[in-house]
Amino acid sequence: MSFETLVKTGTDIFEKKWPKTLKGARVGLLVHPASVNRKLEHTVTLFLKSSKLELKALFGPQHGIRGETQDNMVEWKGFRDKQTNLPVHSLYSNTRKPESAMLKNLDVMGIDIQDAGSRYYTFIWTMELCMQVCQEMDKSLVILDRPNPLGGIVLEGPVLDMKHASFVGLRPLPVRHGMTTGEIASYFKHEFYSSLDFHVIPMQGWKRKHWFDETGLPWVMPSPNMPSLTTATVYPGMCLLEGTNLSEGRGTTRPFEIFGAPFIDPDILVRKLKTFKLPGVVFRPMYFHPTFQKHAGRLCGGAQIYVTNRETFKSFKTGVAVIKAARELYPEHFSWKRPPYEYETVKMPIDILAGTDRLRKGIESGDSLEYMEEWWKEQGREFQRTKRRKYLMYK
């Protein structure tokens, strides 16, 4: 399959599009492994060569600036980068929000992060906390925009209720939000940070219908457990398993595509999942041994997801179906994960992932999948009407 599309990210064109008012500015840059241009040159290298700015510091989100931490929820410490001799500040350690001392000698925060298209992917919340501190300290902020790998049309899942805000969701967004990082940042700017000096360097050539493999851009793992577009496709639903005692496939070569637990019979589970008549997906019964995280070293029964039609596939609904099936089949073994989870020590992990306790209570009450889908679809329609459509930058 070949595509004529040649999308250029904000990183590909920043040299021509850097704000004139910020020429020569001292910049701190938030990056991770996928912060590269079309030629796979890292944004740090490009900024160091640029005559438009002076790169003074680096900032890294969860998993580090080069993916140094493999597992989930593993903190890392700041250091001085040997390649550039620049300080690297960790925003996934004792602080998630940049401290004032980190920005003291900077004029601008530059942000170049590849999102995965799901609200609980933490990079957009690191971005939001950078927006907070930049407004507080009267610093400018520039977003180098990148594609939403799942396209920019479909919304799925509940809109976050602020009573369930956490580091996997700090502002109202649906789980699958269908927005780029620049669009999300624009939403945050106009709704919450009105006095922030804010700039987006938009992409060229990206259309809302484009999945990542239709952009002509190279896929670089934005985090160690996001190895492919297929992973990102199933992630909006399968990440919900982090709120349960089911393995979401961490510690396998197919995270989020493989799932299960030691108490599950694969064939029985798959027969149950077939009764939900989920669109665009089939399940293969299987056994697996996770090498780390949940059930590490133990034989798990479960299944692998195969997306047969990504246009009709409903990832969030599928994830809910998996949880519902496991709970109904194995009520004596299934359990919700208890806190702490992503710096939250009181709220249930499943509730902060869903952004509401309504999903958990619906599953516990035996609500039908169709009933639950209807209320979260209505939330998505309301969010689209009242918020999202105002901040979309692409057609």
| 336 φ/ψ angles, rounded to the nearest 5 degrees | -80, 140
Burial of residue 162, with CB atoms counted within 10 A of its CB: 0-12 exposed, 13-18 middle, 19 or more buried: exposed
Lookup: tokens for 83? 């390649």
pTM of the complete model: 0.95
Q: Which amino acid is at 378?
A: E
Task: Give me the pLDDT at residue 71, please.
Answer: 60
Task: Give me the pLDDT at residue 66, please.
Answer: 75
Mean pLDDT, rounded, for 367-375: 98
Omega of the bond prior to 340 within 30 degrees of 0, cis?
Answer: yes
Task: Give me the pLDDT at residue 78, please.
Answer: 84
Q: Where are the domains of the chain?
A: 10-222, 229-356
Q: CATH class for domain 229-356?
A: alpha beta
Band the pLDDT of 3: cuts 50, 70, 90: very low
Considering the chain, what is the average pLDDT of its residues?
A: 95
pLDDT above 90 covers a percentage of the chain that reads: 93
Q: Is the pLDDT score of 181 beyond 90? A: yes
Task: Give me the pLDDT at residue 73, please.
Answer: 61
Q: CATH class for domain 10-222?
A: alpha beta
DSSP state of 307: E
Task: Give me the pLDDT at residue 2, please.
Answer: 42
Q: What is the pLDDT of residues 214-228, one digit of tens each?
A: 999 999 999 999 999
Band the pLDDT of 79: cuts 50, 70, 90: confident
Mean pLDDT, rounded, for 360-380: 98
Q: Is the pLDDT score of 1 beyond 50? A: no
Q: Among 67-76, 125-134, 280-289, name the one with the lowest average pLDDT.
A: 67-76
Taking each helix axis from N to C terminus, what angle separates 315-329 and 369-386, rounded to the nearest 10 degrees?
Answer: 150
